[in-house]
Amino acid sequence: LAKTTQPISMDSYEGQEVNITCSHNNIATNDYITWYQQFPSQGPRFIIQGYKTKVTNEVASLFIPADRKSSTLSLPRVSLSDTAVYYCLVGDRDNNNDMRFGAGTRLTVKP
């Protein structure tokens, strides 16, 4: 399984765009990239998933360069409620639920 590396923590201010980058140098051909958000004492919540190029949904965008060795989660105009831990996971399509969570990135949004 490909290992992921993310910044331990990030700070931002309300209304700003936040970009969290995840490195996954050993990503395999069949691997896809998924991001989750977790609030204290709650289960992680799926945010977005992609395989290559760019994916956008109502809450975030995921940018994946051509070599797929990294990916960037973009959160537009964050608010205080976006303060959470964000996890990047790289998953094998053949074992899609054998997922390894890293330490995640603790995002703190300040007023």
Integer distance in angstroms from the first to the last C-alpha of the chain? Answer: 38
The strand pair at 70-75 and 18-23 is best described as: antiparallel
DSSP state letter for 99: -
CB of 81 to other proteins, least distance (A): 18
Binding footprint of other proteins, residue count (CB under 8 A)? 24
DSSP state letter for 11: E
- Stretch in the footprint of other proteins (CB under 8 A) among 5-13, 19-27, 36-44, 70-78: 36-44
101 near other proteins, rule: CB under 8 A: yes
Residues that bind other proteins (CB under 8 A): 32, 34, 41-46, 49, 51, 87, 91, 93-104
